[in-house]
Chains A and B, each alone.
Chain A
Amino acid sequence: MKLTKLLTSAAVALGLAVPAFADEKTKVGFVYVGPVGDGGWTYEHNEGRLAVEEYFGDEVETVYVESVPEGPDAERVMTQMALEGADLIFTTSFGYMDPTINVAAKFPNVKFEHATGYKRADNVSTYSARFYEGRAVQGTIAGRMTKSNIVGYIGSYPIPEVIRGINSAYLHARKVNPDVQFKIIWAFTWFDPAKEADAAKVLIEQGADVILQHTDSTAPQAAAEAAGGVITFGQASDMAEFGPLPRVSSIIDNWAPYYIERTQAVIDGTWTSVDTWDGMDTGMVKIGEISDAVPADVKAEAEAMIAAIASGEYEPFTGPINKQDGSVWLADGETADDGTLAGMNFYVEGLEGTIPQ
């Protein structure tokens, strides 16, 4: 890496006099929104970082800062990383979008990768995972296995990512079970295990025997286990410790292959700005082991769906699909475009309630 040149340009950009020093290693920085011990979102990104360290060994040095608030603090941390000679920086929260763009403009030779955002630049890529593909599998299992025909869903905030998951799960549950009904609770918090436990309990008390969660703690799993006769799915990480019941499967964020690939690109000098939205095909979204609590035919059906999605044969949002108000969203056979999916802010037909906004 031409680190001296890189530092000089950074110094010029900031009007600084920087002592140049030589460094052979490629330095990769990670900015985390939570602690690495959150057991969910940040934990999985950090697993990706560790995979990079393991894969490249001495060739690469990684640095990270955890629990960085979005806004000016994030901007400062990124700037410091760039100043200290990072060649590639992963910023792993939606709220880091504008700070990433700002800092990237000051350091044209440092590469940035922003997770889940939509703003790009010559040295800023974006990447995200199609978790809704996993939700389709969950919805299928949920629709088949529910006896009460009530599926409970715990959402964090009503953002497109979460709404997409609800729609995907609902469509596929209804496909195999026309009587299924979704009850949705918005926790209005990213992280409050006790509140998640309460939400799961409430859903179970109101008759739900499947709990889907878009929050990261295992609290709903424990609530389901205590109640008995309720199934759940691991979220963000595998949560295998709650298998085979209540946890029957999971969606896992698997960032390692992407992080390794992008780091390799920087080392090779082949890095370009891209917009990556990968799913099961590249392994960015993984479905955790489907436990034996799931009947064999349902398991086979789910596995067939995983294979179909991974091979590109099947797209979870394929028409005919109507919006909640009955208007046509996708005609028969039509598939959703990424733009609509990325900003999804409506429920599909059949879901009850309104999205808070």
Chain B
Amino acid sequence: MLRLERRPQPSKMWSYLTPLIAVAATMIVGGLLFAALGKPPVEAIKTIFWDPLFGPFASYSRPQLLIKAGPLILIAIGLALGFKAGIWNIGAEGQYIVGAICGAAVALAFYPMDGFFIFPLMILFGGLGGFLWAMIPALLKTRFGTNEILVSLMLVYVAEQLLAAMALGPLKNPEGYGFPGSRNLQQYEAAYNAEIIAGTGMHWGVVAALISVIMAYILLGRHVLGFHIRVTGEAPRAAGFAGVHTGRLVVICLGLSGALAGLAGMFEISGPSGVVSIDFNVGYGFTAIIVAFLGRLHPLGILLAGLLLALTYIGGEMAQMTLNLPSAAIQVFQGMLLFFLLAVDFLTNYRVRIGQKEAV
């Protein structure tokens, strides 16, 4: 009988090895899937994992990885802080939308004025918008004990309706012939979140994501707030003795994750996306939850997980293009990759033993 035995300490070696095993297993099973669909398996795998990084057009797609991963990482870092403390913000998508709307509204209010202060003001309002949207579940939780999972999730749908209303109404481009959607911020220099060095993919949102990784690393390792977060998540009862004020922690964690999600939305709408449109949001807020857990709620892990997921998105598009793979097959492939990453994770914390101690 196989059984698992908890390691006294997580294995360093396995924590590095497991992601590689998972990727290898995904390649094999994914290859079988592609073969079953009548596509060349090796070529498909190579297109997904190799071409975006080292293919003939990699100098274009490598910077794109950063653009795709940036918002995922920024949101996931904020979520991870809450998740570590057992505070479940499922509504980052809504905070992302509201941050984007607020940031864009500031820009559009000043259009076409020129001014160095406009972009910083947009950053401020973007973060503030996400923060305030997250304050709704936070305050309802601390004030009435309302479940934050449900409230934050419901507020995603409210935010989506709000976005549609904004794109069709107040923020609509007055020169857009009645079509929905705002002015393109890419064409408004004072508000445009352009690449800092052209062709690198590094816009301010990516920079913010990298800074957030570093800050979260320091916060969790060295700051008393990081200690409070960890102790609340691991031993809620002990947290009280350690001087943790639970209500305040809820407000801080939800507020922080909301602000980061709002920032991500603001950087996206003022840069790569440019337009307040009905379909501005594409699910970064939900995907970031996966990124946070794939990264094991660790800042560096989140960085890598965000990049890995971005790679499968971009590689998946390439495979669709060159091999006519349906996007559904790519989705299944991504799902399998996540399954394998999650499945092999136990090797870090457990040892497999062969013995006849009672089966679980």
Contacts and interface: CB of A to CB of B under 8 A. Distances in A.
A160 B277 CA distance: 15
Contacts of B275: 71, 95, 98
A159 interface: yes
B177 A118 contact: yes
A65 B238 CA distance: 53
B186 interface: yes
Nearest to A15: B199
Contacts of A158: 168
Nearest to A66: B327
Interface in A96-115: 98, 102
Contact of A83 (B60, B169, B186, B268): B60
B168 A356 contact: yes
A73 interface: yes
Contact of B56 (A19, A36, A98, A342): A19
A344 B317 contact: no
Contacts of A80: 57, 60-61, 317-318, 321
Interface in B168-182: 168-169, 172, 177-181
B321 A14 contact: no
Interface string A37-67: 0000000000000000000000000011111
A83 B179 contact: no
B178 A160 contact: yes
Given A83-B60, A98-B184, A157-B180, A65 B317 contact: yes
A98 B182 CA distance: 11
A267 B133 CA distance: 53
A207 B59 CA distance: 61
Nearest to B199: A15
A283 B327 CA distance: 31
B282 A357 contact: no
A73 B281 CA distance: 11
Interface in B147-183: 161, 164-165, 168-169, 172, 177-181
Contacts of B169: 356-357
Residue of B165, B186, B320, B321 most packed against chain A (CB within 10 A): B321
A81 B181 contact: no
Interface string A1-44: 00000000000001111110000000001000001100000000
A249 to B, nearest CB: 29
A18 B57 contact: yes
Given A63-B324, A80-B318, A188-B164, A345 B274 contact: no
A158 B275 CA distance: 18
B272 interface: yes
B320 A159 contact: no
Contact of B177 (A65, A95, A342): A342
A230 interface: no
A281 interface: no
Contacts of B179: 94, 118, 159-160, 343
Counting contact residues on chain B (CB < 8 A from A), the size range is 35 or more
Contact of A65 (B61, B278, B327): B327
A284 interface: no
A83 to B, nearest CB: 5
Nearest to A159: B180
Contacts of B328: 35
Contacts of B161: 188
A25 B252 CA distance: 59
By CB atoms of chain A within 10 A, which of B68, B178, B184, B277 has the most? B178
A18 B59 CA distance: 10
A118 B180 CA distance: 12
Contacts of B321: 29, 63-65, 77, 80-81, 84
B314 interface: yes
Contacts of A66: 320, 326-327
Interface string B302-332: 0000000000001001101110101110000
Nearest to B178: A343
A357 B168 contact: yes
A69 interface: yes
A64 B320 contact: yes
Interface in A173-199: 188, 190
Nearest to A93: B279
B64 interface: yes
Interface in A338-353: 339, 342-345
A157 B318 contact: no
A95 B279 contact: yes
B280 interface: yes
A75 to B, nearest CB: 8
A72 interface: yes
A67 B165 CA distance: 23
B273 interface: yes
Contacts of B67: 72, 76
Contact of B172 (A16, A76, A357): A357
A71 B282 CA distance: 9
Nearest to B314: A76
A232 interface: no
A161 B314 CA distance: 32
5 closest A-B pairs (Cβ-Cβ)?
Answer: A343-B178, A72-B272, A343-B177, A69-B282, A71-B273
9 contacts: A19-B56, A68-B317, A70-B279, A70-B280, A72-B67, A77-B321, A94-B179, A118-B179, A188-B161
Given A14-B199, A18-B57, A84-B321, 12 more contacts: A16-B57, A19-B56, A63-B324, A66-B327, A71-B279, A71-B280, A72-B272, A80-B60, A95-B278, A118-B179, A157-B164, A159-B179
Interface of A: 14-19, 29, 35-36, 63-73, 75-77, 79-81, 83-84, 94-95, 98, 102, 118, 157-160, 188, 190, 339, 342-345, 356-357
Interface of B: 56-57, 59-61, 64, 67-68, 161, 164-165, 168-169, 172, 177-181, 184, 186, 199, 268, 272-275, 277-280, 282, 314, 317-318, 320-322, 324, 326-328
